[in-house]
Amino acid sequence: MIGPEASQLDLNTSLVRGEQVKTKLVKGCPCYKEFIGLEKEKVCLNFDDVLPINAISVDPSFFERIEAVDDLVQYKSNNSSMCYLLIYLDRKEGHCYCISQARRININKMDVKTAEIDSALQFVTSAERSRDGVICSDCLYKYLKTLGEASSGFLNDFEREEIVTSYVREVSRRMAAELSSYSSSTFSDTEYQEHVKKYIKRINQSRSQWAALTTKLKKANADKILLELVDHYSTFYRLEGIFLSQVLELENTSSEMDALSALRFMVSISEKVIKLSDMIREKTNIMIERNLMSTEVQEKLRKHSQKRKNTEYRFSNLVRVLSEIDAHTT
């Protein structure tokens, strides 16, 4: 779930009182996501991507001199994975911008408008009265995907609850069971969730091993293609872990991410896994043809090759199924 730093948004009190003064900075971002079970795995969903990030909480007063979009370049981070957890609302053109990367906020292939954020702040706050104006990034994202312009053409609430939620949960459960080799047919007990969590933990451990291998290869001045191949494998497992964490979130009835958001997110993850698998296959063939892999590396990759193929096959089927659901919700 969203961490305390990322989840809190400084809501301008003038918005709550309905005054004309509009805020230009919002502490928090609808594109920020933090996953359970992945040791604070943080990603950015801007432009429907899934990028690992380093998120820090920065005092909005530091950016008070920003008066126009052109000023953002002065505050843009040199690190493409840095996130300030702040968005700028451009009142002139009517769009929202990520301050740390100086780019527009885009969800579901649509630029998010300042009016949508204004509405989201008021709507979510009124729905979360007990939190006294403190709302979360997930709440903003959910609002934009269900009531904002990015939701154009979606099913109504009743259809979404009755059709999409149940179907997405069922498909994702079975996918998680297959990936983690869960043999029981019962998905309602804690045994299933604990099994998946343990599998995610093993994935994290394997990623550490890939990182160690990368360090070792760099010291040995290994070929660039081999380094890229190892990095692809590490990313492959990272995406698998993120996918499984999303499945666990769907099991939590209090989760603030709606089924339609989860649907599109899972399709995006699945497509990235398939693309990575193709890249791994291509680079592996190049390495074999050039005889650039040591026996040790070949043995390590051989152990993961069949699992990767099985995972790719499952994700390919999942994309087909979820895309079919998606086609009926737009």
Q: Is 65 exposed, middle or buried (0-12, 13-18, 19+ CB in 10 A)?
A: exposed
pLDDT value, residue 199: 93
- Rounded mean pLDDT of 142-166? 57
CA distance 32 to 6: 8
Contact criterion met (CB below 8 Å) for 38 and 239 = no
More confident residue, 135 or 283: 283
For 109-143, write each residue's pLDDT tens digit.
889 999 888 877 765 544 343 333 224 677 677 66
Of the listed ranges 80-84, 128-132, 234-238, the least confidently predicted one is 128-132
pLDDT band for position 299 (50/70/90)? confident
Nearby residues of 23 by Cβ (< 8 Å), 6 or more positions away:
12, 14, 15, 89
d(CA 180, CA 237): 12
Q: What is the pTM of this model?
A: 0.58
CB 63 within 8 A of CB 86: yes
Average pLDDT, the chain: 76
Residue pair 50/242 in contact by the 8 Å Cβ criterion: yes
The whole-angstrom separation of Cα 109 and Cα 130 is: 33
User: DSSP secondary-structure letter at 81?
Assistant: T
**Four-residue CA torsion sign, 92, 94, 95, 98:** positive
| pLDDT band with cut points at 50, 70 and 90 for residue 108 | confident
For the four alpha carbons of 177, 310, 202 and 273, in that order, the dihedral sign comes to: negative
Per-residue pLDDT tens for 48-69?
899 999 988 788 888 988 999 9
The pLDDT, as a whole number, for residue 100 is: 95
**Using alpha carbons only, how large is the chain's radius of gyration in Å?**
21
Residue 99 has pLDDT above 90, yes or no: yes
What is the C-alpha end-to-end distance of the chain, expressed in Å? 27
